[in-house]
Structure 1
Amino acid sequence: MTSTADPASTDDSRAVPVTAGIVCALVGFTSSFAIVLAGLQSVGADRDQSASGLLVVSLLSGAGILWLALRHRVPITLAWSTPGAALLITTGEVDGGWPAAVGAFAVTGLLIAASGVWTQLADLVRRIPPVVAQAMLAGILLPLCTAPVPALREEPWAVAPVLLTWLALVRFTPRWAVPAAFVAAAVVIAVDLVSSGATVPVGDLAPQLTWTTPAWTTQALVGLAIPLFVVTMASQNIAGVAVMQSFGYRVPWRETMAVTGLGTVLGAGSGGHAVNLSAISAALAAGPDAGPDPSRRWIAAVSDGVTFLVLGLASAALATLVALAPAGVVQAVAAVALLGAFVGALGAALADPQTRTVAATTFVVAGSGIAFAGVGSAFWALVVGIAVHLVLRPRSR
């Protein structure tokens, strides 16, 4: 006796991972693209250059996902480095300006690719005490998460709708809270444009890549490339592998680092700061939300990659929208998008009572925003945190 599959059931089994991949891309993109634009502009990019950076990391992420997912039939998802973009915001303009920042992006990509071939380099990142890495990340995110507080005082009509929308959604559907906050911000911007009578040139909405010849300065390499590499590896690549392992998947480490690292090098001249494994949003494509059959969840990754390619085409329009935003609106969206990462990093850093002094020291230095010898606080937080850890760690008999 033979049996035939129910066509409706088959269609549903295909639709679930496809839908999950689209949701994964939409949530990841809308939750953090404003942080990418703000980070690129903070290190010297103009509006066209930052839009180009958003476009290229979107295209490279989508293309990389399609290559890895179709080749290995594993739901591997890639994205830009959101913690890395937050680092750019706190770092500010480096010696040599935007070309030197582009050069630092390229060096970061080379280091990521090298970590796939020379595993000792990845092991070196893993040997950084987790309490130091987490506290450094929390310190980087602190000023970004507090930015809406003074903005709410200065522009309450513009900032309050974003924060209230996020608060209302996070109670019932946390996954869509940040995208909803972005929609609220778009409404605020539209109302402001209508009331002011401003117009948007149609030419500003077309996506385009803008090339910048890289330059290299010691301050940019030490103060930007090294911290960007460490943050991207610790918070994205290594964390992304852990997320995939929790769902029973093995990430092809060498090939993934080659795809993301060389992709970062390829996109650096167009403003792309870093491409890496997804960490937080990876669960949307690799977990049960992508269907009950783990062997078919790679379809969700393919859907995610295609959606990223489509969303990237809106980069110029989104950059224009952000540029026209009233003061404080973009900061509010960025803050609610980063709040979860901040809470997670700070909680992990302070979890062990025996290492809280190390965590507090690293956190304070990273959050201070201090620049010494032209190098930003993230690098010095790393140095100070490791030094304090070595001094205070229990001595073996």
Structure 2
Amino acid sequence: METGKHGLIEPGPGIGAGLRDLTGNINLKTASAGLVAAIFGCSGPALIVIGAADAGSLTNGQTVAWLLAIYGLGGLISLLMGLYYKVPITGAYSIPGAALVAGSLAVFPFDQAVGAFIMAGIIVLILGVTGLIGKVMRWLPMPIVMAMIAGALIRFGIGAVNAVSALPIVVGAAVVAFFLSMRFLKAVPPVLSALVVGLVAAAVMGSFGGSDAGIRFVLPEFTAPTFSIDAFLAIAIPLAILVVGAENAQATGVLLAEKYKAPVNAMTIISGVGGILAGFLGGHNANIAGPMTAICSSDQAGENRDGRYAATVVNGVLFAAFGIFAGAVVPLILMLPGPLIGAVAGLAMINVLVMAFQSAFSKAAGYQIGAFVALIIAMSNISILGISAPFWALLIGATVSMLVEKPAVSKDDGSASVGASSVA
């Protein structure tokens, strides 16, 4: 389907159809994938947000409002997109964006940062409404996008290996359980086996930690925005680029790797709306999330690709609940051993990484030099002008291919471009 024939937002089966088929698609595999994605998103990333709040000397109420905004709205995005399109399009927020904001809050008062959050959402919304992002994604060669995905997500695989050295017995037990379950327990999702065995091992070894979140159950405290040119340039523009050039681009590539049609315009528009609403609540953005989409769309969510959206729905419910009860839940979730959660998330992305590498470096698809450039830039995790590596991986990889390579197929055919897979 081409968006130009149907309006700005790509049509889908509809929320009614998603709800009707949901009960038949919620099973052990989809539920466990959604649970793992939620635990991943609510553990280490939450600590980054809390650290950013500490850097800005925010009150506990402002911190709780921030968490409510990004987790509550991120969960809502999962529910809306997952049910409407029946595709595992998962919402959350930009983790690099939280790190960007942490540095900015040392310079800007929080009310100006909140104004910048809203302006970032407006920028993303404009990019979606104009259809610009959809046009760019249809132009980008598929191998370069897949190479960016492989480079951006490989850190999770490497993190799983490093986690073994951090907690050898706990993480080692989880890894062994994952592969043994994959081989011998076809009815049990390997990622669930890894999580359960890892938690049992952590309990036996006494690896659960104390919480240093410093948040108590308090009501959210909302902050009135103040708009300034300096905050617009320093926060809003880089944050908007992170949302579309890192998170949404990663999620789009992951979905394409798993053979889904990615509604690029709708993903951008809802990320813009999510950013505006999150800003008014005091959060830096709510958008489509790359890593959580990767977990929910992977084979760990079940063999039935059409039913994996149920994992996103489960994740959305858990995310929203985490946001609503953030003041009470954060100290508990942060007691989980970080290396174990990182390892389980890395294991869940194995199939996504394999398919991304295969798509990126297939001789038939071409663009191999540009794909390699995109891979190493995404792996480098560099940040230039406040913009993270995935954006530069796509831009520089495509530029190199345009200079030195010819496509394996003609542009009229289009089968080597993202658009050929994202529209029907």
Instruction: Give the TM-score range, shorter chain.
Output: 0.5 to 0.7
Tell me the amino acid that sits aligned with residue 340 of structure 1.
N
CA displacement at 1:319 relative to structure 2: 3.8
Q: Report 1:1-397 matches (<5 A).
A: 17-18=22-23, 20-21=25-26, 24=30, 27-35=33-41, 37-39=43-45, 41-42=47-48, 44-45=51-52, 55-64=68-77, 75=86, 78-81=89-92, 85=95, 95-97=103-105, 106=118, 109-171=121-183, 172-173=185-186, 176-191=189-204, 193=206, 209=220, 216=231, 218=233, 220=235, 224-236=239-251, 258-268=269-279, 269-271=281-283, 273-276=285-288, 281=296, 309-310=320-321, 319-326=330-337, 328-352=339-363, 354-373=366-385, 375-394=387-406
Conserved? CA contact 1:69–1:301, under 8 Å: yes
Q: Deviations over 1:205-238 (max 9, x none)?
A: 8596575769836465565531431334334358
Quick one: distance in 1 between partners of 2:260 and 2:137?
19
Residue ranges of structure 1 left out of the alignment (5+ in a row):
1-13, 291-296
Are the structure 2 counterparts of residues 181 and 56 from structure 1 closer, same or farther at C-alpha, using a change threshold of 3 Å? farther
For residues 84-133 of structure 1, the C-alpha deviation after alignment (integer angstroms, 9 at most, x for no partner) is: 54x569x7776415869977765554344334421233212332332222
Greater CA drift, 385-394 or 102-111: 102-111
Structure 2 counterpart SS, 1:147: helix
Task: Give the aligned partner of residue 6 of structure 2.
Answer: none
Contact 1:53 1:273 in 2 (8 A): no
Q: Percent identity?
A: 23
Q: Tell me, what secondary structure is at the counterpart of 1:351? A: coil
Structure 1: distance between partners of 2:197 and 2:115: 36
Give 1:317 shift: 6.2
Calculate the TM-score normalised by the size of structure 2.
Answer: 0.64
CA distance in 2, matches of 1:221, 1:230: 14
Q: CA RMSD in A?
A: 5.0
1:119 is aligned with what amino acid? G
Aligned residue in 1 for 2:414: none
How big is the shift at 1:170? 3.3
Q: The residue matched to 1:138 in structure 2 has which SS? A: helix
Farther off after superposition, 328-337 or 99-108: 99-108
Give the corresponding residue for 1:4.
none
Give the AA of the match of 1:34: F
Contact 1:114 1:121 survives alignment (8 Å): no
**Which residues of structure 2 form unaligned runs of 5+?**
1-18, 55-59, 411-424
When normalised by structure 1's length, the TM-score is: 0.68
| Residues 256-307 of structure 1, C-alpha deviations (whole Å, 9 max, x = no match) | 754443123212454464333967746979x6876xxxxxx99999888666
